């Protein structure tokens, strides 16, 4: 057993020396690397002050030319009508009502000629045309007297009298679309009898059943509804009424619809 004993010694001092050596080596390497990196930053010449980037010519930005303003459209000149008298001042004729006299009387002679009543006189936007002035596209003789004696002017007819308009035709009376026929049993060309319902026979139901019907222009029943009678007998009566046929009813020569009642008597 003594041969197997291993002599153990403390290696703490050696481990601390090795750790200190490694730490010192690491710090030295990091310092060298940082120094080299800082030197490369400050020692490199970027040629910021050289002549390679010198500004030799100033270039002005391009000037954007504005589009020329469009020329205003020339309005066509109005053609002067020989029948239109255009004046800057309007002088009334002798036949017109004189205007209100001015407050101050002037002794200056008027140099404006008197307006011709046989011509249209226009001043600006106002039209001082004579009475019964024809439309602008009229080229016939002009009537300015207001009597309507000119045969060529519109509205003139001389001594001719306009014929009175013919009287309107009397309104046509439309026949009614549907008339009442009352009890229609005797007017039917075909009136089938309703079957006696077994349920009604079981309770011994009997009596009359009235069915309101509407007959078309051709004589067929277009609608039927029971208005009175035992409830168990009404469906059979309505079914029989729908199969009834009638001759067309004429009013003023035209066929019309007829409304009436068909009565069925149920006897057990």
**pLDDT per position as a tens digit, 211-263:** 999 999 888 999 999 999 999 999 999 999 999 999 888 888 888 899 999 99
Q: Of the spans 15-24, 74-83, 117-126, which averages the highest pLDDT? A: 15-24
120: number of Cβ within 10 Å: 20
Instruction: Classify residue 93: in a domain, yes or no.
Output: yes
How does strand 221-228 pair with strand 126-127? Answer: unpaired
Q: What is the pTM of this model?
A: 0.36
Instruction: Classify residue 47: in a domain, yes or no.
Output: no
Asked whether the predicted pLDDT for residue 130 surpasses 50, the reply is no
Q: What is the mean pLDDT of residues 123-138?
A: 56
Instruction: Classify residue 237: in a domain, yes or no.
Output: yes
Q: What is the mean pLDDT of residues 103-128?
A: 69
DSSP 186: G
Instruction: Classify residue 141: in a domain, yes or no.
Output: no
Write down the mean pLDDT value for the chain. Answer: 75
Instruction: Classify residue 5: in a domain, yes or no.
Output: no
Confidence category of residue 70, pLDDT binned at 50, 70, 90 = confident
Cα atoms in the 13 Å half-sphere on the side-chain side of 223: 8
SS3 state at 228: strand
Considering its fold, how many domains does the chain have in total?
Answer: 2
Q: Can you give the pLDDT at residue 29?
A: 93
Range of the domain at 231: 178-266
Instruction: Classify residue 173: in a domain, yes or no.
Output: no
> How many whole angstroms separate alpha carbon 112 and alpha carbon 91?
7
Query: Do 196 and 256 lie in a common domain?
Result: yes
Structure tokens at 46: 């970027």
* CATH assignment of the domain containing 207: 3.30.2420.10
Query: Do 188 and 260 lie in a common domain?
Result: yes
Query: Do 130 and 195 lie in a common domain?
Result: no
How does strand 207-215 pair with strand 254-266? Answer: antiparallel
Q: Are 246 and 217 in contact (CB under 8 A)?
A: no
């Amino acid at each position: 057993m003594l041969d197997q004993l291993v002599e153990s010694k403390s290696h703490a001092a050696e481990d601390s020396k090795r750790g200190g050596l490694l730490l010192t080596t690491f710090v030295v390497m990091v310092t060298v690397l940082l120094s080299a990196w800082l030197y490369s930053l400050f020692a490199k010449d970027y040629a910021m002050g050289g002549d390679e980037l010198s500004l030799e010519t100033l270039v002005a930005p391009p000037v954007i030319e504005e589009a020329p303003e469009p020329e205003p459209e020339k309005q066509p000149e109005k053609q002067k009508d020989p029948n239109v008298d255009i004046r800057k001042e309007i002088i009334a004729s002798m036949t017109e009502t004189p205007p209100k006299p001015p407050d101050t009387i002037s002794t200056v002679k008027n140099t404006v000629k008197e307006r011709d009543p046989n011509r249209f006189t226009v001043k600006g936007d106002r039209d001082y045309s004579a009475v019964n002035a024809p439309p602008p596209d009229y080229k016939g003789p002009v009537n300015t007297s207001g009597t309507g004696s000119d045969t060529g002017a519109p509205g003139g007819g001389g001594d001719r009298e306009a014929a009175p308009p013919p009287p309107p035709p009397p309104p046509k009376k439309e026949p009614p679309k549907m008339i009442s026929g009352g009890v229609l049993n005797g007017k039917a060309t075909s009136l089938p009898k309703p079957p006696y319902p077994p349920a009604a026979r079981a309770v011994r139901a009997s009596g009359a059943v009235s069915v309101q019907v509407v007959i078309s222009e051709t004589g067929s029943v277009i609608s039927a509804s029971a208005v009175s009678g035992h409830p168990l007998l009404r469906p059979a009566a309505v079914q029989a009424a729908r199969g009834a046929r009638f001759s067309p009813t004429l009013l003023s020569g035209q066929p019309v619809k007829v409304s009436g009642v068909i009565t069925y008597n149920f006897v057990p």
